[in-house]
Every structure is written in structure tokens, then in C-alpha cells.
Copies of this chain bind each other. A is one copy, B any other.
Amino acid sequence: MELNGVAELPEIRPGDDIAALVADRAALEPGDVLTVASTIVSKAEGRTADLEEYPVSGRAQEIADRIEEIAGEEKDPRFAQAIIEESSELLIDCPFLLAETRFGHICPNAGIDRSNVPGHDLLLLPKRPTESAERIRTGLEERGIEDVAVVVTDTCGRPFRHGQTGVAIGWAGMPASRDWRGELDRDGHELGVTVQSVVDELAAAANLVTGEGAGGTPAVVVRDWEFGDHEGSEELFRSVEDDLIRQALREWRFDE
């Protein structure tokens, strides 16, 4: 398996065609996986916003006040409002906001980025990243580049472990997971591992190449990797029913 960053992508602007920009710079081959950082997908889709676009609701003001009171941290209530509007549920609302986006991804601040947006206050995640991935894949096909899977990535932290890793938030041209159930190990035993989230592993691998900052390459080509002859699954985000941690969080409130 080989990973290479797509060199010399320009700063992405609203309306830019990511498929075209990548196709001009990388000799994609059938079977490749192209990972694309959500930051540039969002920029191409014009998903920037300004804090003044978010008139503060009672709930947003309450959240900001409580974070300031308990955590001693200033939280702009308009930022809290933006997170609420991008979310279907807040799993934690103090001392930070852990949100489920409308497409099911759970991450701090609904993935809204305050660092990466020249000329604006906020960069929102793509609205429907799997549709974004499909559009990029279709754009490649229109340029004669067939059979390239596309994974839209984010980086976020997680429970239990320090630090952030690359994760997938949208994908096209391949299933999210490999299902190993029923397959056997060397000794003929059924496997302990059941479902392998390959899109997340591809996103994590790509993030090692992407880097951040001035030298970053937000698109990465993965070559000589195969999904292989396994059952696939399209599920990536757990529902509340499937997730004891989410159930526990519903009954819990932070208290300093």
C-alpha cells in the first residue's frame, strides 16, 4: 500500500471543482482511493459563515453562561448557536460541546473550524459529506477516471485516548466497513474481529501524509490497497440504540 499527497493544490475557493483540481495534479488509476480533507470540500462548497449570522437563542446563551461559570472559559454564545444549528443532538453541553452533526458524525463543536477560514469566522463541515464524496467521484468519472473510491475526512479527538486522528465522514465507491464475520483464522477458528472500519483506517493513514499547516496536502492518493472479497457495510455512525456511551451521556450532566 502506498500513500502520496497531491502536490500543489491551490487555496480552495467557493465553486472550485475538487475533482478537476486533483485530476490535473495526480495520475489516478483504477482501484485508487482518494482521500480529501473536509476543510477543502467545505471551502469548495462555500460552507463558510460569520458569527453575526447566528442570533443567539435562549439555549445558546444558557450554554455559554454555564461554560463560563463552571469552566471559567469564555464561550461566544453565537458560536454555541452555530453548533446547535449544525447539530441534531448535543451529547455534552458543558464544559465543552460534543455534538452529533445532522449527518451522524459525533465530534466537538459539530466540527466547526475557527482556525482555517480566511475572510470568515467559521468553516462548517460539508452538509452531506457522502454526497460530496459522490460528486467528486462523479467528477473524476467525467474526466475518464473510473473506479476511484473517495473518502472525505475530518480529524477529531475521541474518548479514552489522547489526541486526534483522521476519520471518515463521507465515502463513495466503496463500503465503509469490511465484515469478517464467518471468516476463519489460520487455525480454522472463527475470527474475533468482526467489522473493520476501513474508511476510518484510510482516513487515519492519509492524515499521516496530510499533515497540517502551511505544508499540508489535503488530498492523498492511496494505491495498491484493496477492499478485497468481503461483505461490506455502509454503517459508520452509531445510533443511540447501538451505543451505551451515548445512553450514559443522556443521563449525565457535568458538575464541577
Binding site for B on A (CB under 8 A): 1-4, 11, 92, 95, 98, 106, 113-116, 118, 155, 158-167, 176-177, 180, 183-187, 189-198, 200-202, 204-205, 207-209, 211-214, 216, 225, 228, 233, 235-238, 242-249, 251-252, 254
> Are A163's CB and B213's CB within 8 A?
no
> Are A158's CB and B155's CB within 8 A?
no
Q: Closest Cβ of chain B: how far from A121's Cβ, in Å?
A: 12
Residues from chain B with Cβ under 8 Å of A116 in the complex: 185, 187, 189, 192
How many copies of this protein are present in the complex?
A: 2
Closest partner residue, chain B, to A201 (CB atom): B204
22 contacts between A and B (CB under 8 A): A1-B208, A106-B160, A116-B192, A158-B158, A158-B159, A158-B160, A161-B236, A161-B238, A162-B197, A162-B233, A163-B176, A163-B196, A164-B195, A184-B213, A185-B212, A186-B214, A193-B212, A200-B204, A201-B208, A209-B225, A244-B254, A245-B248
Q: Closest Cβ of chain B: how far from A174's Cβ, in Å?
A: 12
> Are B161's CB and A200's CB within 8 A?
yes
Residues from chain B with Cβ under 8 Å of A180 in the complex: 212-213
Closest partner residue, chain B, to A208 (CB atom): B201
> Are B196's CB and A155's CB within 8 A?
yes
What is the bound-complex CA distance between A113 and B187, given in angstroms?
A: 14
Which listed residue (B162, B165, B184, B243) contacts A242, Cβ 8 A? Answer: B162
> Are A166's CB and B246's CB within 8 A?
no
